[in-house]
Amino acid sequence: MTAPRLAAIAKVVPPYVLEQHDIERRVRAMFSNEAVVQHLLPVFQNSGIERRYSCVPIEWYYEQHDWRDRNAVYLEAALQLLGQGTQEALTLAGARVEDVDAIVVVSTTGIATPSLDALLVERMGFKRTVRRLPIFGLGCAGGALGLARAASIAAEMKGALVLFLVVELCALSFRRDDVSKSNIVATALFGDGAAAALLACDDRPGPAVVASGEHLFERTLDVMGWDVAADGLRAVFSKDIPAIVEQRFRSVLDAYLSESGLTLHDLDRFIPHPGGVKVLDALEHVFELSPGSLEDARATLREYGNMSAATVMFVLARALSGGALSDGTWSRALVSAMGPGFSAGFVTLER
């Protein structure tokens, strides 16, 4: 059976730029009397991030916003970004909206009912029989796991064109009166962005999705996620994430690869979600790479920040266009991401 191929990928960001040095200055001034916050400020300089993007102007963050306000911004901005990404991906693939047979949408930074895919059908004119799969709750793992779900649908629906969409507006979670470590770390890391990809089992050029898998680690439900509060979603981070990656990720990866008769040394490229600098350091050790080798991931983190599930798709787009997958010398690559649960998602690509 022909494996689904990644026919096109587009990445989009909202219009407002957040320069890291400016955000640090503003946080320093906003929480000037909070010793806890001042102690955490080095996270901005150590984040490996230079800039990010926001769906709202910087002044918005100085105001109080409840859950309803935040979600209203999420809905409109998410649809705008997804629409733009869809058009760009379709243009790259030489396809039309009416050619799309299935839509998979991943997002965990807001709530939409009707779902984002249904709203896009109404807004963009997809055919009314399009198969839809909205996915919520995967967090940062959603880029890899969503791509896997889209590829599975493409393999099942022979000849179908499947649209995979991911949008995360993580910066909306900032709250001006919260001096918790998680809020400050999120403020130093989070950005907004969206990606669109098209998959099909045909003769289109592009890498083939040949395998996928996932793993839910034991006793790690409190490692990462959202707390739902009256004023919106509040980030939950554990300082143990890099250690979990360092100590437990390799055995899970080896088990995944063994299902396809592979080992780590059968992979020659790595496309990981860059959750942060320390996570990338841990992954380079796990992948048996020299420090700094994951350049596509590090450059994506530097230029866009952590956009949760969307980030790994940005890394993949960069790798395919001028990065590690652009020169035709690779044979097999691993896309990986980790998210709430604590979970890991894998996708294997072949040239």
Among 9, 3, 2, CA closest to 320: 9
Calculate Rg over the CA atoms of the chain. 19
The label of the residue with tokens 């001096």 reads: 179
Alpha helices in 106-180 (DSSP H): 116-124, 142-156
Q: Say if CB 117 and CB 82 are below 8 A apart.
A: no
Q: Which amino acid is at 95?
A: A
142 contacts 106 by C-beta, under 8 angstroms = yes
Comparing CA positions, the residue from 278, 271, 344, 285 lying closest to residue 6 is 271
Residue 288, Ramachandran bin (φ over 0: left; ψ between -120 and 50: alpha; else beta)? left
How far apart CA 153 and CA 149 sit, in angstroms, is 6
Q: Is 140 a catalytic residue?
A: yes
Angle between helices 277-286 and 241-258 (to 10 degrees): 40
Among residues 55, 140, 170, 201, the one annotated as catalytic is: 140
Instruction: List the Cα angle 219/220/221 in 5-degree steps.
Output: 105
133 in Cβ contact with 88 (< 8 Å): no
- How far apart are the C-alpha atoms of 70 and 165, rounded to whole Å? 21
Identity (one letter) of the amino acid at 251? S
| Element holding 68 (H helix, E strand) | helix 67-93
* Active centre residues (catalytic): 140
